[in-house]
Amino acid sequence: MKPITSHTRIPGRAKWLVLSLFSLFYSFALSPLATAHVGSSGVIVQKQVGKYQLLISVKPPDVVPGTAIVTVFVEQGRVSSIGARPIYFRSGDKGAPTHDILTPIGANRYEGDLWLMDSGSSSIELSIDGPDGKQQVVVPVVAMATALRDMPNGTGFGLAAMGLLLIVMLVTIIGASNSDGVLIPGQKAPETLRRQRLVGMGIGLAVICLILTGWRSWWTSTAEDYRHEQLYQPTRINTSVHVANAQRQLTIQFDTTGFGSGQRSRRLFSFVLPDHGKLMHAFLVRTPGLDAFAHLHPNRRDTLNYESALPPLPGGNYLLYTDVVYRSGFAETLTDTVEIPALKTSPEAAANAKPTDIDDSWLLTEPMGVKASAVNIPHLDNDMIVCGKPGASSKLADGSTMIWMDKPSQILEAGKLYSLKFAVADAQGKATALEPYLGMGGHAVILRSDGSVYIHLHPVGTYSMAAEGSLVNRIADTARTFHYPNPARFSDSINTYIAKLKTLPEAEKNKLLAASMPGMSHAMKTNNMVEFPYAFPRAGHYRIWVQVKRNGQVLTGVFDTQVNEPLL
C-alpha cells in the first residue's frame, strides 16, 4: 500500500465522500431527541368536474420539507394523464413549480409524490387531461410540520463509529502532511519530524473540535427553531360557561398570550372567513359516553371573543371542537374541555329559549356503552340488511329513520378509504327528500371514543369550502405576493355579510351559499341520500353523527362502529 504523504493527492470524488459522511454523521448524531406527535389523516376530496368524477387523497408530510402522497381514483371519465403541483397562498400561481405527472397504477388510479418545501397554507392543483377534456381541481392542504423524528439507535451507533473513524483519519492525514512529506524513502524519521507530526495532529484535532463545536451550536439552533417556530402549535382557546337570565352562555376566547414566541404561531383573527355561512362551527360532546351532542355557530362579539347560547344539554364534562378558516385558506380545529353546569328550568322557559343561531342543533341519545379503552368489543351490531348488504339504522326526531347504506362489514379497517352513505325514510318506510343544510346535502362528525380523532365531514370530503374558495381566488390572482386589506374594514364586511344571511329566507340563503361554493356540487342519484368519503386513521371505537334537513328541521342520526387495524 502506498503511504499517504504531503505529496499524495486525494481524488476530488473521494474527498467529497469523506466530507459528506462527516456531515451526515454530525447532522444525525448531534440532533436532539424528539417525541412523536399524532398528525392528521390527510385530505380526502370527492367531486365532479366536467365529465370526470374523482376521488382524491392527499397525505401531507408530517415534517416539512417533505413529500405529500397524492392518489387520484378516476371513478368516471376517460383520463390520459394527471399532473400535480403545489401552490402556496403566499406566492400564488406565479411562484409555483410546474406540474409533476402522476404515475398510472391500474386502470383508474394515479399516484405520485409531491414535494412541499415550506410551511403554510397551500393547495395541490391537479390538471386532468384526456378524451373527455381538460379540467383542473384545487385541493386545500395545510403544509405544517407536526412531528419530530427519532433516529434509530442502530443507525446512531453506526454513524458515530463512522464519524470517529473519519476524525482519526483526518487527524492522521494532517499529522502526516506536516512531517512525512520531506522524508527520503527508506530513511528513518528523525525525532524532530515525529514531534512535527504530533504537533500537526494536535493542531488538526483542535481545529476539528472547533469546527464540530460550531457545527453543534448551529445544529442546536436550527433544531430549536424547528421545534418552536416551524412545528405546528394549535391556537389555544379559553372556554367558559356562565348563567344569565336562566340561560347558559358559552364564551370562546382566542388566547394570544403565546404569540410573542414566534411569528409562525400568530393568527390573523381579523381575517376569519365564513365557512358555508358561519364564522365558527363549534361541536360539544359530553364525555365519557358521547351521549350529548351539539352543533353551534357562535356570534362574534369582537376579534377575539365569540358567544353562543347553550341548548338544553345536560350538565357534565364536554369536549369542544371549534373549526375556523382564515383568509389565507389556513383551516384549523381548536380544542378545549368545558364543564357545563346543570340548569333546572321550567318546561315553559325551556320551550321559549331561543338558540343564538337558527341553524344550531343538538341531540341527546344513548351512551356508547363501552369504555374509551375497550378493544375488539363490538358495541353496535348490524341490525338490518340493505340491498343484500349489512346496514344500521337510527331513529330521527321527526319519526323518520336514517339508514347506513352499504356498510362493508360490521368491523371496518383503519386507513381504508370508505364512502359512508346514509339514506332517510319516513315513518312509512318510503324515501323522503332532503333539503340543503347550510348550502349542502348534509354534515357529519366522526369522533373516536377517547376524543383523540375528530373530523367534520362534508359530502365532498374532509376539507373546508371556504379554504378552497380562498385558494382558488388566490391562484387566479396574478400578483406574486398577497397584500392583506385593512383588517377593520375586512371584518366589518364579513359581519355585514353574516347579518344579511340571517335575514334571508331559507331558500334564498341556500342559493347564495351554493353560489359561493361552486365546488360543492355533489348531486346524489336519489334525493334522500347523502354520502361522505373518509378513511379512519386509527383503530378504535367511533361514533358518527350525521346531520340532514327535512321539512325545515335539522335531524341528527347517530351510529357507532368499530375500526380495527388492517389485516396484513
pLDDT tens per residue, the chain (568 residues)? Answer: 333 333 333 333 333 333 333 333 333 332 333 222 333 568 999 988 999 999 999 999 888 889 999 999 999 999 999 999 999 998 899 889 999 999 999 889 999 999 998 888 899 999 999 999 999 999 999 888 877 777 777 887 888 888 888 888 888 887 777 665 555 566 665 677 777 778 778 888 888 889 888 888 888 888 887 777 778 888 899 999 998 877 899 999 999 886 555 555 567 899 999 998 999 999 999 999 999 999 999 999 999 999 999 999 999 999 999 999 999 999 989 999 999 999 877 677 666 667 888 999 999 998 986 444 444 333 444 444 444 444 578 899 999 999 998 777 778 899 899 999 999 999 888 999 999 998 888 999 999 999 999 999 999 888 888 999 999 999 998 888 888 999 999 999 999 999 999 899 988 888 888 877 765 555 556 688 999 999 999 899 999 999 999 999 999 999 999 999 987 6
DSSP helix/strand/coil, 281:
strand
Amino acid in position 348: E
Buried b (16+ CB within 10 A) or exposed e, 428-447: eeeebebbbbbbbbbbbbbb
CA atoms within 13 A on the CB side of 26: 19
Overall size of the chain counted in residues = 568
| pLDDT at residue 261 in the model | 52
| pLDDT at residue 187 in the model | 60
| pLDDT at residue 258 in the model | 67
DSSP 449-489: TTSS-EEEEBTTBSS-HHHHHHHHHHHH---SS-----HHH
Classify the phi-psi angles of 412: left when phi > 0, otherwise alpha if psi is within -120 to 50, otherwise beta: beta
Query: How far does Cα 20 stand from its chain's mean position?
Result: 35
Query: Distance between the two ends of the chain, CA-based, in angstroms?
Result: 53
| pLDDT at residue 266 in the model | 66
| pLDDT at residue 511 in the model | 85
> In the numeric block, which cell numbers belong to residue 266?
400568530
| pLDDT at residue 20 in the model | 36
C-alpha closest to that of 536 among 449, 445, 413, 442: 413
H or E stretch at 47: strand 43-49
> Which domains can be identified in the chain, with CATH numbers?
12-30+149-230 (no CATH), 43-143 (2.60.40.10)
Determine contact, residues 495/501, Cβ cutoff 8 Å. Answer: no
d(CA 440, CA 324): 18
| pLDDT at residue 448 in the model | 92
